[in-house]
A and B are shown apart, each in its own frame.
Chain A
Amino acid sequence: MITIIDYGVGNLRSVQRAIQRHYSEVIISNEEKQIKEAIGIVLPGVGAFGDAVEELKRRGLFNLLKQIIPTKPTLGICLGLQLLLDKSEESPGIEGLGIIPGHVKKLENTKSIRVPHTGWNRVIGIKEPYFSGYAYFNHTYYCDVVDKNMVIAFTLHGKRFGVIFDYGTILAMQFHPEKSKTIGEKILNYWVRSVLKQVSLT
């Protein structure tokens, strides 16, 4: 079973549907048991950083995820990726999960570079398995990670920033794979297969 973490906001059904195209047993839950027993977990995200941290804490998920994510294949999506870092300029003073060392920073806007970064932009894969193509973004903040080696793809919007991160048990991305057609399908398929491979190894 793959468990999508439900922390109150966001359109989880479309994430579920998209993953179900590759693996049938996908549930949406905030229960400890279903998170612990999952072969892989998905941390989705629509919303604001501070609000999401609060929602995770209110549901008793914050510390649980902090322990479990480093031990279990995890897919982070959009805000779900940002939550894995230490902190965010969106919500000063609020600590993130702190699993990926780094800060979430605001994209700079100019007249030609409009922020929020909304719509389809090109993802350029720079490391295996070279995920590339147009993906759907909708965000104001980006992840500035300490160890740049984990960046496996980037995007250009005023500046270059990492958009897919491969770090230990984590595969996480700034865009929405569930809304990104071809590249989204590829990533979800790849992730599900790697989760199943983990299971068969243990």
Chain B
Amino acid sequence: MKTVIPAIDIREGKVVRLTQGDFSKQITYSNDPAAILRQFIEAGALWIHIVNLDGALTGNFRKNLSYPVILDLIKLSKQAGIKIQIGGGIRNIEVTEELINRGTDRIILGTVALDDSKVLKFLFKQYGNKIAIALDCSNRKIRTKGWQFETDLDIFKILSKLESLGIHNFIVTDIMKDGTSTGLDTNLFLELKDKKKPNTRIIASGGIASINDVEKALMCADGVIVGKALYNGNIAINVFGSFLDDLHKSQLVKRIIPCLDVKNGRVVKGIKFKNLRDSGDPVELARHYNNNGADELIFLDISATIEGRKSMLNTIRSVAEEIFIPLTVGGGIKTIEDMTAIIKAGAEKISINSAAIKDPNLITLAAKKFGSQCIVVAIDAKRKGKSWEVYSHSGSKPTGIDVLEWVKIVVDKGAGELLVTSMDRDGTNSGYDLELIRAITDIVSVPVIASGGAGNKEHFIDAINNGAEAVLAASLFHYNRLRIQDLKDFLNSHDIMVRK
């Protein structure tokens, strides 16, 4: 995702801007950096760029008035749930460690990256993606030490040298442009875009004077830092806010949902709906998932008997007591009374399948009573030529209904979410049926949970990229073949927003 990053440069504890890195051309904009940060948070910024100018000038990050101020800003950013990158005189391991331990998401190294590759290699090995290199240049030559020294180093050569060390985050500032509000040197960034490795991320900085400049920068770079224009009124803060809202659209995260098939109080998982295997106690598993990153849990009651169903209510009660993530319950739900009992026992949402096929008006009645957001319609789909057929009764009975026709009907009747299981893929670990997910998400606008076939981390990305709002898996998680936290780290590194 492209990022737009407001900058806060701190000198002697105050918010200032320089022009072309010249400390004699300093304008102080505020004595209250926290208030400035709050303003950017309110505008909807997801990242903040902080520079310790005292540190940049002296090479000592800590021995100045700006250091304690920056620690406060880190705290504030963490509270607000936004990310923070910090630079300016960070030239050793100890300071980097401290800032990262306090919650800094990215450390910007400048001079040290060029002077001392030992330190750089160590830090990169230790912190990987959290390290970014600032390449400050004028006329495509690198400048160092608070921009005081011009070097003969060519920016493109330095870029490829650092890329070969494995580094892929760069902040490129054209200092001839910085603080001048004369627009970005797009040629430089187009050339960088052309020459960089595919997974290298370049954040552009310097000269941004209008929203138009921000848009242009995003076309040739992965992100852009906005400084002076936000302070001198060239970009009004409310205009900036609307721009960010349009850019970000929503920060709803993709959900990872373990599914627990429960029969007579025990969790089982069918391989292609047959050969059930017992994989544990539902309360135990729910607690485990609650503590290990699951965003939601789905319980499917596959008991066939009245006693089994009654014990399910007890299971829901015990699980709801234990966990602080939402619970969806499905399986054998036939009436509004069934739904009321399950919701009262502690479920957030109920999922219906065969009963909706038998009487689609049940969806409408349920949505009217509980609200659409409570009603998930589960669909078991099996390929039939070029289309898919709906199956009922836990996938045992073909209904003759076309899946794409059916999803339109159920959404029309009031379904708030669809849980779509590919029977062809279920239990195969060969990946979700992406065509099915795409076809469905193309025609409805309620969230769709993809189910059936997850076998590795990539499969989840595929489902999400084909329109799924949430991804479900069972055995993969139950047998600990994939840890949810590892999956989330993986999704996060592929630009998919997850809840950490």
* Chain A interfacial positions (CB closer than 8 Å to B): 9-11, 13-14, 17-18, 46-51, 79, 90, 109-126, 130, 132-134, 136-140, 155-160, 176, 178-181, 184
Q: A119-B470, A120-B255 are in contact. List 11 more A-B contacts (CB 8 A).
A: A11-B348, A13-B320, A18-B324, A111-B445, A114-B447, A115-B446, A116-B372, A125-B80, A126-B38, A134-B253, A138-B326
Tell me which residues across on chain B come within 8 A of A79, comparing CB atoms.
371
CB closest chain-A residue, reference B241: A160
Q: Once the chains bind, are B251 and A121 in contact (CB under 8 Å)? A: yes
Q: How far is the CA of A181 from the CA of B323 in the complex (A)?
A: 10
In whole angstroms, what is the CA distance A13 to B320 when docked?
Answer: 8
Q: Which residues of B contact A121 (CB under 8 A)?
A: 250-253
B36 near A: Cβ within 8 Å?
no
Q: Please, which residue of chain A has its CB at the minimum distance from the CB of B370?
A: A47
* B282-326 residues at the A interface, CB under 8 angstroms: 295-296, 317, 320-321, 324-326
CB within 8 A of A120: which of B41, B42, B295, B447? B295
| In the complex, chain B residues whose CB is within 8 Å of the CB of A136 | 325-326
Those of B418-476 within 8 Å (CB) of chain A:
441-442, 445-448, 467, 469-470
Contact with A along B317-354 (1 / 0, CB 8 A): 10011001110000000000000100111111100000
User: Which residues from A are CB-within-8-Å of B467?
Assistant: 111
Smallest CB–CB gap between B336 and chain A, Å?
11
- Chain A residue at minimum C-beta to C-beta distance from B41: A124
Give 1 or 0 for each of B52-93: 1 = CB within 8 Å of chain A CB. Answer: 000000000000000000000000000111000000000000
Q: List 7 A-B contacts (CB under 8 A).
A: A13-B321, A111-B441, A113-B249, A119-B447, A138-B374, A156-B245, A179-B348
Given contacts A124-B41, A138-B374, A140-B372, A118 and B324 within 8 Å (CB-CB): no
A130 with B79: in contact, given A51-B368, A160-B245 (CB under 8 Å)?
yes
B252 contact from A49, A117, A178, A181, Cβ within 8 A: A117
- The docked-state distance in angstroms from the alpha carbon of A35 to that of B385 is 61
Query: Whole-angstrom distance between the alpha carbons of A168 and B349 in the complex?
Result: 32
Q: Is B373 an interface residue (CB 8 A)?
A: yes
Closest to A122 in B: B251
With A138-B374, A140-B371, A179-B325 known as contacts, the answer to whether A11 contacts B252 (CB < 8 A) is no
Q: Which residue of B lies closest to A155 (CB)?
A: B251
Q: Quick one: given A109-B445, A119-B295, A130-B79, are A11 and B469 in contact (CB under 8 Å)? A: no
In the bound assembly, the distance between CA atoms of A178 and B348 in angstroms comes to 11
Do B255 and A115 touch across chains, with their CB atoms under 8 A apart?
Answer: no
| C-alpha gap A155/B253 in the complex (Å) | 12
- By Cβ-Cβ distance, the 10 closest A-B pairs, closest first, are A116-B373, A109-B445, A48-B371, A122-B251, A157-B250, A132-B80, A116-B416, A120-B499, A121-B252, A114-B447
Q: Which residues of B contact A157 (CB under 8 A)?
A: 250-252
- Is the beta-carbon distance between B255 and A119 smaller than 8 angstroms? yes
Q: Is the CB of A47 within 8 A of B374?
A: yes
Most chain B beta carbons < 10 A, residue from A51, A117, A122, A156: A122
A11 touches B41 (CB 8 A): no
Provide the residues of chain B in CB contact with A133, threshold 8 Å.
79, 81
